[in-house]
């Protein structure tokens, strides 16, 4: 499928790029996308949560009242979970939330994400550009000129460009990444996917 190429002013350049059907034109597999997004979000969790149980908190181990004759339930320790300041019952412990995703499933998920975005008309191709220094305002103007509106957008570059990456760090609704780091969640979480010409070549090489 061919898409028109825009310049940084949001105007058509008269050029077009060919997007391969085996990457941007497949029948999206929603389950593969769901697995990839779930694994990505799970792998971002630190898993450092911890709550102290009754054997870990500081406190006296003295029996706080006699066993019988008080008219209330028996109690042996102030650290019991039923008392204020006591330990927590079955509290969270540090753990890993990492989930494994097969390579073929991950590739299918990214292809499905690309295809669904293109089918929804949410893919824009822009010619390659660069900055001499970080320019957040100018990059924001370029993204606005491409008619992405107020929705989230992801600008994909062919390789690491320090000035463009620094320019996009402080944009509220836009993110900059390069093709080799593009994952399914970033594609699906964007309102508009902005691809530079060089990033398309990188995507083709990745899925060749």
- pLDDT above 90: residue 87: yes
**Which residues fall within 8 angstroms of residue 146, CB to CB, at 6 or more apart?**
6, 10, 124, 126, 153, 192, 194
Phi-psi region of 98 (alpha: psi -120 to 50; beta: other; left: phi over 0): beta
User: What domains can you pick out in the chain, each with its CATH number?
Assistant: 2-45+98-206 (3.40.1370.10), 46-96 (no CATH)
Structure-block tokens of residue 76: 């042996």
User: Could you read off the pLDDT of 3-28 as tens digits, one per residue?
Assistant: 888 888 888 888 888 898 999 999 99
According to the model, what pLDDT value does residue 149 have?
64
User: Could you read off the pLDDT of 43-79 as tens digits, one per residue?
Assistant: 999 999 999 999 999 988 899 999 999 999 999 899 9
**Which residues fall within 8 angstroms of residue 93, CB to CB, at 6 or more apart?**
49, 50
Give which of 191, 188, 198, 161 is closest to 176, Cα–Cα: 161
User: Could you read off the pLDDT of 112-151 as tens digits, one per residue?
Assistant: 999 999 998 899 999 988 888 888 898 888 888 887 666 7
163 close to 134: Cβ distance less than 8 angstroms? yes
Structure-block tokens of residue 71: 């008219």
Length of the chain: 208
Write down the pTM of the prediction: 0.82
User: Could you read off the pLDDT of 153-175 as tens digits, one per residue?
Assistant: 999 998 888 898 898 888 888 88
């Amino acid at each position: 499928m061919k898409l028109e190429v825009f310049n940084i002013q949001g105007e058509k350049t008269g050029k077009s790029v060919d997007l391969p059907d085996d990457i941007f034109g497949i029948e999206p597999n929603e389950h593969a996308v769901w697995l990839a997004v779930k694994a990505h979000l799970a792998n971002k969790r630190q898993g450092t949560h911890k709550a102290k149980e009754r054997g870990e908190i500081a406190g006296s181990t003295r029996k706080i009242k006699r066993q019988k004759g008080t008219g209330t339930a028996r109690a042996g320790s102030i650290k019991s979970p039923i008392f204020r300041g006591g330990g927590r019952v079955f509290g969270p412990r540090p753990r890993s939330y990492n989930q494994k995703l097969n390579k073929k499933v991950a590739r299918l998920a990214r292809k499905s994400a690309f295809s669904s975005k293109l089918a929804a008309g949410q893919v824009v191709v822009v010619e390659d550009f660069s900055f001499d220094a970080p320019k957040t305002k100018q990059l924001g103007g370029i993204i606005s000129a491409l008619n992405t509106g107020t929705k989230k957008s992801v600008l994909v570059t062919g390789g690491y460009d320090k000035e463009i990456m620094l320019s996009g760090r402080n944009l509220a609704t836009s993110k900059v990444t390069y093709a080799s780091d593009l994952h399914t969640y970033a594609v699906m979480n964007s309102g508009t996917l902005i691809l530079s010409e060089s990033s398309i070549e990188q995507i083709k090489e990745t899925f060749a």
